[in-house]
Structure 1
Amino acid sequence: MVVADVGDSVTLRCFRPEEETSGSIIWYKQKIGHEPCTMATVDYEPIWDNQFKSPRFSIKKEERGFHLNIANIEPSDEAMYYCSLMKFSPVYGKGTFLTVKGNEDVKVSVWQSDVSDTVPAGASVTLQCSVLSERRTAELQVLWFRAAPPQSHPQIIYTHHNSSHQCESGSSTHTCVYNFTKNIHSLSDTGTYYCAVALCGKVTFGNGTQVQLDVKTLTDQCFSKNKLQFVSVFLV
């Protein structure tokens, strides 16, 4: 994650793998809750998509490097940025989330439920997130991220809509509770789940809830499945 103030300049780095000597480099921008859009395709010189044809955006090339520079940062620049190598199929980098600090200091607190117990394979777990803010819920954007090895950055997995929470309002604050239910089928569903709030160019993360898989139930399921396959083959 990169944090910048309005008016700053940032450089987001992208390197071509050492073993690759050909193929276009493509930069993408993905705003929260939206699909990715192509910013520029770089071969010898960058070819910019129409909406990014601005002096604020430039590509700095160096040996194996195709770095994206964004000058005079605006709140609308807040997004996840990816670069990819395009050959027969695209190979994506892990991405960088650019957070833009707004001029308005709005207090937001995010609290998550405690660390989860181990979950049996095939069961579901419901994670709870409480958001206390000085703004009404309609102005908040609440998301869930998941981080797990070998990923170095959390990935967005869910965005809440207006009907997916319960709220209480006081004289100056608003408290909303958001629930997220996930089926845990395998180790790829485990990791640390973060609730986050995007507001006024700022993203506030919760403390994270760790979800672990009960390896014994997974082993038992695999043993039972293999046993059934063995019996089936023996009967034939």
Structure 2
Amino acid sequence: MAVVVNPGLDRSVKTTNIAEIQVQTVSRGDNVTIKCGEDLTRDNNGNLIWYKQSFGNQPQYVVRKVENNYRLSPDFRDGRINVTRDQKRFDLNIAGTKEDDAATYFCGKMADNVMYFGSGTLLVFAEKTNLHVPNQKVIRSGESDTLQCSVQETASSCAEEQSVYWLKLGSGESHKGIIYTHVNNSNQCKRGSEAGVPTQSCSYTLPKSQLGHDDAGIYHCAVAACGKILFGNGTKVDVKGKTFDKILLP
């Protein structure tokens, strides 16, 4: 378990494992609500806290519950942030979203001097995505395959290493969930030019072994660096039937 310092409570806390990261897409200027999981709010006990983690930065304490009220961090008192408070909710509301709001948000609960986190939400802007109609791939249950994804972007002088995410949207789900991350060393990128503007196209692969019906869904890669995130083209994976061993007849 990682140990972090909670600036709102002035004590060390321990984090639990994060089950998954959801992805919520908004447009610049939207009013957005990020939900705190029911597993943290259902009993209405303990101190509830929201944290924000921007790309490449440490988590920032945003707001915490104080008895029947809430207290905002001094860094977030611009009038755009508040929380929905009732017996079973502690959702984070952001009015008039700006680029600086792009980040991963975690709702946590302090109990017995230990911080417990639910799943996080990665907030990204629709203008920064490059989603295409996904390719379709049919795979038999039990087989293995490698998914491919490419991202094309305007080349920049940003020296920050790129974080690469793989996201999956399954049937019946409203938000994509992050299933894999790694740091890209840029050796999969090729530079070019379009209309005199420098561009680069980067390709990524995700090996999947012994796929089952739970692996069906739409997969996208996404690249984050310097406070921006770009989505690549997607692949819709359908898993059909069962794989049987071949029977050799005499």
**TM-score interval, normalised by the smaller of the two chains:** 0.5 to 0.7
The equivalent residue for 2:174 is 152
CA distance in 2, matches of 1:54, 1:178: 41
Question: Is 1:193 paired with 2:214?
Answer: no
Residues 152, 23 of structure 1: alpha-carbon distance in 2 compared, 3 angstrom cutoff: farther
Tell me which residue corresponds to 2:101.
Answer: 77
* Structure 2: distance between partners of 1:178 and 1:147: 20
User: Against the structure 1 CA distance between its residues 10 and 154, is the aligned structure 2 distance closer, same or farther, given a 3 Å change threshold?
Assistant: closer
8 Å Cα contact 1:9-1:73 kept in structure 2: yes
Say if 1:211 and 1:184 are closer, same or farther in 2 by CA, change over 3 A: farther
Alignment RMSD: 4.2
Q: Is the 8 A contact 1:29 1:36 kept in 2?
A: yes
Please state if 1:135 is matched with 2:155: yes
> What is the DSSP-based 3-state SS (H/G/I as helix, E as strand, rest coil) of the residue aligned with 1:76?
helix
- For residues 115-126 of structure 1, the aligned pairs below 5 Å read 115-118=136-139, 121=142, 123-126=144-147
Q: 2:86 aligned to 62, 70, 86, which one?
A: 62
Distance 1:34 1:75 in 2: 15
Correspondence for 1:31: 54
> Which consecutive residues of structure 1, in runs of 5 or more, have no partner in the other structure?
221-236
Residue 40 and residue 212 in structure 1: after superposition, are their counterparts in 2 closer, same or farther (change >3 A)?
A: same
Distance 1:70 1:150 in 2: 26
Q: Does the CA contact (< 8 Å) of 2:148 and 2:205 recur in 1? A: yes
Higher relative contact order (CA 8 A, sep 6+): 2
SS of 1:116 mapped into structure 2: strand
Query: Alpha-carbon deviation of 1:25?
Result: 2.3
Name the structure 2 match of 1:183.
208
CA distance in 2, matches of 1:136, 1:111: 23
CA contact (8 A) 2:149 2:233 kept: no
Q: Which amino acid in the other structure matches residue 166 of structure 1?
A: C
Q: How far is 1:27 from its partner?
A: 1.7
Q: 2:100 is paired with a residue of what secondary structure?
A: helix
Tell me how far 1:118 sits from its aligned partner: 0.3
Taking structure 2 as the reference length, the TM-score comes to 0.60
For the Cα contact (< 8 Å) 1:112–1:129, is it kept in 2? no
- 1:81 CA drift (Å): 2.2
Gaps of 5+ in 2: 1-23, 246-250
What is the rounded CA distance, in whole Å, between the counterparts of 1:47 and 1:67 in structure 2? 14
Could you say which residue in structure 1 is the equivalent of 2:63? Answer: 40
| C-alpha separation in 1, matches of 2:104 and 2:192 | 32
1:151: how far off? 4.2
Residues 57-85 of structure 1: per-residue CA shift (max 9 Å, x gap): 44342343323234564422211323245
* Secondary structure of 1:152 counterpart: coil
Deviation at 1:165, TM superposition (A): 1.4
- Measure, in 2, the Cα distance between the counterparts of 1:112 and 1:96: 22
Q: 1:179/1:137 Cα in 2 relative to 1: closer, same or farther (>3 Å)?
A: farther
The structure whose residues are more often helix, as a share, is 1
Report the more deviating stretch, 185-194 or 174-183.
Answer: 185-194
